[in-house]
Amino acid sequence: MIKDIWKIPNYTEECCDALVSADYTPLLAAVLRARGIDTAEGAAQFLSHGEDLLCDPLLLCDMDRAVARIERAVRDCERVAVYGDYDVDGITSTCLMTEYFRRNGIACLSYIPDRLDEGYGINAGAIESLREKCVTLVVTVDCGITAAEEVAFARSLGIDVVITDHHECPQTLPDAAAVVDPKRPGSRYPNEELAGVGVAFKLVCALENDPQGSLARYADLVAVGTIADVMPLTGENRCLVYEGLEKLKNAPRPGFEALLEESGAAKKPLNAATVGFTLAPRINAAGRLCKTGVSLRLLATADPEEARLLARELCDLNHRRQELELQVLEDALACLGSAKQDLPIVLESENWHPGVVGIAASRLTEEYHVPAIMICIEGGSGKGSCRSYGDFNLFEALSACADCLESFGGHAFAAGLSIRPERVDEFRARLADYYRAHLPESAPTVTPELLIGNPSVLTLEGVASLDELEPCGNGCEKPLMCMLNAILESVTPIGGGRHLRMSVEKNGARFDCVFFSHTLADLCVRPGMPVDLCFVPQVNDFRGHRSVQFLICAVRPSETLDTCRCILEMEEFSVEELRIFRPGRDELARAWRRIKQFGGRIEFRYEELSGGRRDFMDPVKFCLCIEILKELKLVDLKARDGCICCAAADDGRKTELTNSRLFTRLWGGSLTKH
């Protein structure tokens, strides 16, 4: 595994007084400050999830035309089909729109194409089959924006199409009865980041002219689709997801209730993560294995017993999906071996299931930190799933290799392609050449937003207050924090050795931690070592006992001692990186008093900075104090062979802190305060 790059944040647990005065806990106030929010008004706006965030659906282009055409279909009792997609967003969209029509007495068909035989989007064969069933209106959800030819074909058969989609628009839109997409050029709609289910919901709101009633009926579907499609949970989406989670908690439809029970999540806290990691994968498994009908029936049924049986079937499908995914991943890892991968990974096989290779490609990007393309070969043709890494634009790369491909589509971070097997080697070489010429910038892979220097801020009350940030997800992530130079006290395998339980200590405070999907063999640290941690704090409730627990995201041997060595041995170091540790006047005075307390002379080794002096002051801050005092000619400093000798050298004269070049550089324009 490639070593992660860490970027230590510029914000510590020091909070904003204005936010604490407004009754935010110091920890939540520190997180909000790190996110650029330092007023009570700004915090209230950021955390809001009220219905005032909902936008007028009629601001969406063509919404009036869509409403008029559907109202005509309802009035004339036309036969309508809802045409969706096989992912969670598409399935929830299809269920929502179908439920609306059936509530209004319309004979409505649901159509989701087969993932393997038909692929994504509208196709002519499906249109023909719908015409044979006397369908005169097709309403698309989560697809259709690029289906100009298919829409024209439908019109030639006497079928009107109303498109609702949320993907990027082509230069020429389909000539449909209406095209509703928040990304349409010139759109006045404030939220262009609606999920497909969000667009379908806005259409129903416009049709029913009862936003509150529509929200009460469909919010759970909207929330699940929005979270699963990784839409930003800000603004209007924040309201939709919040209301949906409340419905899932208090009045879930039988399908969701059964799936929560069957998956083991019913008795656990329900939040956006529950949807993203428990509900969504199970619903998605049906689409990956070409059984979307199971998910559709589950979400539509009003019968608890039927829901229970369908939920069990979905969980079985998800287990099968995991088995297939593991087989593909193990096969891919065996092909790659332990060698470092500096170029995009392009692998092909006749033995892989096309429904799971996209997930395997994502795992490879995480493991090797390069783009990955997994190609399934069958019957003389290949279909590939592509995932990018970092800021490498995958769509542009595929465009540059387009003459090697039969077809491709997608966006900068994920795409699909078709290719003839005999051209895979050429494509691999061409993609490698393009990658070398367009190497992505080296971006940190671990980017916490808050540095915890004083762990006493991580109280039960403080960590529990972070729930005010919910719903958390894209655009409003759970707060990722880091702690430097903690002592790793213990490590224990759990979950059959697939995960780890850890215990860490800093400044007398001890915390239990869990590190999922990591084994002892993966760990680069051992008990007794000083370590740096990247984690999400959470409240663990075990048999009625509540405690603060760290959900570990990354761990490494502490780099504190290396930093201290750079400071005291006058090697190059980045002032920008050290500003987070910059000492003020009070801390410099404390360091000076400590030196005088020991008779004007302190000797210690670097390793001791992780020992007895850790409860006195952060080791890096202490070393900066010594270096500043040396520049002020208040101490003599000798550092050699890992040993530091610091002796007081003042002669009673007074000096100004601004005489220290390091102090001036660390504080910049803030000197008047310190």
Contact status, residue 592 vs residue 602, Cβ threshold 8 Å = no
Peptide bond into 557 cis (omega under 30): no
Residue 3 has pLDDT above 80, yes or no: no
Q: Nearest to residue 139, comparing CAs of 101, 168, 189?
A: 101
Amino acid 499: pLDDT:
92
CA distance 402 to 413: 17
Report if residue 475 sits inside a domain: yes
CATH of residue 206: 3.90.1640.30
Other residues' Cβ atoms within 10 Å of the Cβ of residue 319: 12
CA torsion sign for 250, 253, 254, 256 is negative
**Is residue 392 domain-shared with residue 295, that is, in the same domain?**
no
Amino acid 609: pLDDT:
66
Q: Which domain holds residue 289?
A: 252-331
Bridge partners, 446 (sequence order): 6
pLDDT tens-digit map of 148-198: 999 999 999 999 999 999 988 888 999 999 999 999 999 999 999 999 999
Report if residue 103 sits inside a domain: yes
Angle, alpha carbons 583-587-592 (nearest 5°): 115
Total residue count of the chain as it appears in this document: 674
**Is residue 521 domain-shared with residue 415, that is, in the same domain?**
no
Report if residue 443 sits inside a domain: no
Question: What proportion of the chain, given as a percentage, has pLDDT over 70?
Answer: 95
**Is residue 60 domain-shared with residue 208, that is, in the same domain?**
yes
Give the residue, 120 or 124, on which the prediction is more confident: 124
Q: Tell which of 514, 539, 557 closes a domain.
A: 557
Place of tokens 């370590």: 531
H runs (alpha helix) in 14-123: 17-21, 26-34, 40-47, 63-75, 88-103
DSSP for 563-590? HHHHHHTT----HHHHGGG---HHHHHH
**Is residue 288 domain-shared with residue 168, that is, in the same domain?**
no
Least confident of 276-290, 391-405, 613-627: 613-627
> From edge to edge, which strands make up the β-sheet containing 601-605?
601-605, 643-648, 635-640
User: Which residues lie below 8 Å from residue 170, measured CB to CB, with a gap of 6+?
Assistant: 145, 146, 148
Residue 611 has pLDDT above 60, yes or no: no
Reading the block at residue 88, the tokens are 């969670």
Contact status, residue 248 vs residue 269, Cβ threshold 8 Å = no
Other residues' Cβ atoms within 10 Å of the Cβ of residue 331: 16
Amino acid 522: pLDDT:
81
Give the residue, 618 or 424, on which the prediction is more confident: 424
Q: Nearest to residue 233, comparing CAs of 476, 417, 409?
A: 476
**Is residue 167 domain-shared with residue 236, that is, in the same domain?**
yes
Q: How many domains does the chain have?
A: 5
Other residues' Cβ atoms within 10 Å of the Cβ of residue 547: 13
Element (H, E) at 548: strand 545-557
Give the residue, 601 or 323, on which the prediction is more confident: 323
Please give the C-alpha separations between residue 471 and each of 224, 240, 245, 468, in angstroms, as whole numbers: 12, 10, 8, 8
**Sorting pLDDT into bands at 50, 70 and 90, what band is 561?**
confident
Q: Tell which of 214, 243, 272 closes a domain.
A: 243
Reading the block at residue 213, the tokens are 């009633």
**Is residue 415 domain-shared with residue 458, that is, in the same domain?**
no
DSSP-derived pairing of the beta strands 137-141 and 80-83? parallel
Mean pLDDT in residue range 262-274: 91
CA torsion sign for 48, 51, 54, 56 is negative
Element (H, E) at 179: strand 178-180
Amino acid 1: pLDDT:
43
pLDDT tens-digit map of 37-53: 999 999 999 999 999 99
Residue 506 has pLDDT above 70, yes or no: yes
Residue 607 has pLDDT above 70, yes or no: no
Mean pLDDT in residue range 555-565: 82
Residue 573 has pLDDT above 70, yes or no: no
Report if residue 37 sits inside a domain: no
Residue 590 has pLDDT above 80, yes or no: yes
Winning range, highest mean pLDDT, from 257-261, 337-341, 354-358, 575-579? 257-261
Amino acid 669: pLDDT:
55
Contact status, residue 244 vs residue 58, Cβ threshold 8 Å = no
Q: Nearest to residue 85, comparing CAs of 171, 180, 164?
A: 164
Residue 512 has pLDDT above 90, yes or no: yes
Contact status, residue 317 vs residue 295, Cβ threshold 8 Å = no
CA distance 381 to 401: 17
Chain Cα centroid distance, residue 63? 31
Report if residue 3 sits inside a domain: no
pLDDT tens-digit map of 434-477: 999 998 776 667 889 999 988 999 999 999 999 999 999 999 99
**Sorting pLDDT into bands at 50, 70 and 90, what band is 508?**
confident
Residue 54 has pLDDT above 90, yes or no: yes
Residue 645 has pLDDT above 80, yes or no: yes
**Is residue 210 domain-shared with residue 82, that is, in the same domain?**
yes
**Is residue 257 domain-shared with residue 291, that is, in the same domain?**
yes
**Is residue 477 domain-shared with residue 361, that is, in the same domain?**
no
Report if residue 212 sits inside a domain: yes
Report if residue 27 sits inside a domain: no
Report if residue 442 sits inside a domain: no
**Is residue 426 domain-shared with residue 311, that is, in the same domain?**
no
Q: Tell which of 312, 331, 350 closes a domain.
A: 331
CA distance 580 to 620: 10
**SS3 sequence, 408-477?**
EEECCCEEEEEECHHHHHHHHHHHHHHHHHCCCCCCCCECCCEECCCHHHCCHHHHHHHHHHCCCECCEC
**Is residue 540 domain-shared with residue 592, that is, in the same domain?**
no
**Is residue 496 domain-shared with residue 545, that is, in the same domain?**
yes
Average pLDDT, the chain: 90
CATH of residue 526: 2.40.50.460
**Sorting pLDDT into bands at 50, 70 and 90, what band is 670?**
low
CATH of residue 395: 3.10.310.30
Residue 420 has pLDDT above 50, yes or no: yes
Q: Nearest to residue 463, comparing CAs of 446, 481, 438?
A: 481
CA distance 31 to 44: 14
